[in-house]
């Protein structure tokens, strides 16, 4: 009907039968649900022409396919179908073919909430066709029939099914990794190549055992060798102190009394004048979770940071209740899933109790020694613990840090992951296995 000047007679409401329902069998292999009355007529025409052709050319008799639509409009089709649930449920397959536009997309979403989900398949109209009428007018009947039989099961939000399962496997085994400095080679080997990107990583160590030095070493390596930009929240040290320590490591000498802008700028900026990393210098502005979240999201969205290092995370969590701490970790999980960023949380330990040996005196630590909510270590894809006896009389023992991989969700391997040795004379860390102890005369 070129003018669409047609109107119903009789009862006309959401309680009415679907258009075409009176002529439908009420059971069978397929029922096609389209957007409107004209689409019903066009669909039936294409289907009947196809059935006749198959019978004529191949001698194959295809069972009739019932076609219905809402009688009160595409926008309320779900409400009407809900009333006709038993009728629609009588068919083996319910093919939903709404118009290919925003209204049609909304109608499909609403229908999926009321139809027997296991029977529903979604049909896509042929290219450049909004509906069955377009397909008929443009001579795309063959493509329309093919699209009908190619209808796919709808996807449940957050649920992987069918071919998507294989894609999920491919994505998992090809997950991007964040490389580690060479002195952490044993740890990198246990992690099967590096830290997993898009995850939460926890580093735990007692006070004063050198986790800042080790963390700075990793940050310096990532700034130059990781393909991902770092955003650093240095909450214990102000911006100046943090940068002074980082520059000292970068230049290989203490710069507390030495300033050479040209050398320093190479750490801060690349050859094109772009900043190599972002640093948050907290001057009391991060006094609530909203400010912290906003700052992190700006680093991600505006500065392009893909590794977010919070050192230490307890400076954010200490004033919060356990429930609020867990909620912040839950927020990290949402952000890393949404944006593919990696959170590296540097953690303090709880106070040692029960007469146990403190972690700073070489005592063994576990994930449960992480200060704050248990959601921290439970949400970590990788949990790394550093221990050292800073009170030991033996200088070799005193300057040796043990690395333990307590959790590795993807790689699976856990346990002792190497030792680091701090050379006092050069103020440098070394992989202890590579360190020739014969050169240390005084030890």
Tens of pLDDT, residues 414-431: 999 999 998 877 778 888
Distance of alpha carbon 19 from alpha carbon 104, whole angstroms: 17
User: Who contacts 10 (Cβ-Cβ below 8 Å, separation ≥6)?
Assistant: none
pLDDT of residue 442 exceeding 50: no
Check: CB of residue 400 under 8 Å from CB of residue 432: yes
Question: Given this model, what pLDDT does residue 371 score?
Answer: 93
Residue 425, pLDDT score:
74
Which has the closest alpha carbon to 187: 420, 434, 426, 442? 420
Is residue 265 very low, low, confident or very high in pLDDT (cuts 50, 70, 90)?
confident
pLDDT exceeds cutoff 90 at 181 = yes
What's the mean per-residue pLDDT of the chain?
87
Long-range own/partner contacts, residues 366-370 (CB < 8 A, 24 or more apart): 366/406, 367/202, 367/204, 367/406, 367/407, 369/204, 370/202, 370/204
Per-residue confidence band for 346, with pLDDT thresholds at 50, 70 and 90:
very high
What is the pLDDT confidence band of residue 27, given thresholds at 50, 70 and 90? very high
Q: Residue length, the chain? A: 443
pLDDT of residue 352: 62
- Can you give the pLDDT at residue 441? 46
- Report the share of the chain in percent with pLDDT over 70: 86
Look at 29-33, 181-185, 217-221, 354-358 and tell me which has the smallest mean pLDDT.
354-358
Is the pTM higher than 0.75?
A: no
Question: Would you state the pLDDT for residue 417?
Answer: 93
**E-only strand ranges, 100-246:** 120-122, 177-178, 195-196, 200-205, 229-234
Model confidence at 359, pLDDT cuts 50, 70, 90, reads: low
- Is the pLDDT at 357 greater than 90? The verdict is no
For 117-167, what is each residue's pLDDT tens digit?
889 999 999 999 999 999 999 999 999 999 999 999 887 655 566 666 766
What distance in Å separates the CA atoms of residue 213 and residue 245, rounded to the nearest whole number? 8
Answer yes or no: is pLDDT of 61 > 90.
yes
């Amino acid at each position: 009907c070129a003018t669409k000047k047609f109107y119903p007679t009789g009862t006309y409401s959401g309680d009415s039968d679907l258009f075409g329902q009176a002529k439908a069998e009420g059971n069978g292999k397929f029922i096609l649900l389209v957007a409107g009355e004209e689409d019903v007529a066009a669909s039936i025409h294409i289907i009947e022409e196809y059935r006749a052709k198959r019978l004529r050319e191949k001698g194959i008799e295809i069972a009739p396919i019932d076609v219905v639509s809402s009688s009160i409009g595409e926008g309320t089709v779900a409400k009407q179908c809900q009333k006709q649930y038993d009728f629609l449920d009588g068919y083996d397959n319910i093919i939903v073919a709404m118009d290919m536009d925003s209204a049609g997309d909304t109608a499909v979403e609403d229908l999926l909430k009321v139809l027997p989900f296991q029977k529903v398949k979604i049909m896509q109209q042929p290219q450049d066709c909004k509906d069955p009428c377009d397909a008929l007018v443009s001579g795309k009947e063959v493509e329309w029939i093919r699209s009908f039989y190619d209808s796919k099961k709808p996807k449940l939000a957050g649920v992987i099914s069918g071919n998507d399962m294989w894609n999920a496997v491919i994505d998992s085994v090809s997950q991007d990794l964040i490389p580690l400095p060479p002195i952490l080679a044993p740890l990198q080997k246990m992690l099967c190549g590096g830290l997993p990107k898009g995850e939460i990583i926890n580093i735990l160590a007692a006070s004063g055992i050198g986790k800042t030095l080790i963390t700075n070493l990793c940050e310096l390596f990532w700034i130059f060798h990781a393909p991902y930009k770092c955003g650093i929240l240095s909450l214990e040290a102000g911006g100046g102190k943090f940068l002074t320590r980082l520059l000292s490591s970068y230049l290989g000498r203490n710069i507390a009394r030495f300033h050479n802008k040209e050398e320093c700028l190479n750490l801060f900026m690349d050859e094109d004048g772009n900043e190599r990393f972002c640093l948050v210098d907290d001057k009391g502005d991060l006094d609530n979770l909203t400010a912290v979240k906003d700052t992190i999201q700006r680093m991600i969205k505006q500065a392009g940071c893909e590794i977010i290092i919070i050192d230490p995370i307890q400076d954010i969590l200490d004033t919060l209740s356990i429930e609020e701490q867990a909620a912040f970790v839950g927020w990290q999980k949402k952000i890393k899933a949404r944006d593919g960023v990696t959170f590296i949380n540097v953690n303090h330990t709880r106070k040692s109790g029960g007469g146990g040996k403190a972690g700073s005196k070489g005592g063994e630590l576990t994930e449960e020694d992480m200060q704050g909510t248990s959601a921290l270590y439970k949400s970590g894809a990788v949990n790394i613990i550093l221990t050292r006896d800073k009170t030991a009389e033996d200088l070799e023992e005193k300057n040796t840090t043990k690395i333990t991989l307590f959790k590795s969700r993807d790689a699976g391997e856990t346990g002792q992951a190497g030792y680091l040795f701090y050379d006092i004379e050069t103020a440098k860390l070394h992989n202890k296995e590579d360190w020739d102890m014969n050169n240390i005369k005084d030890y």
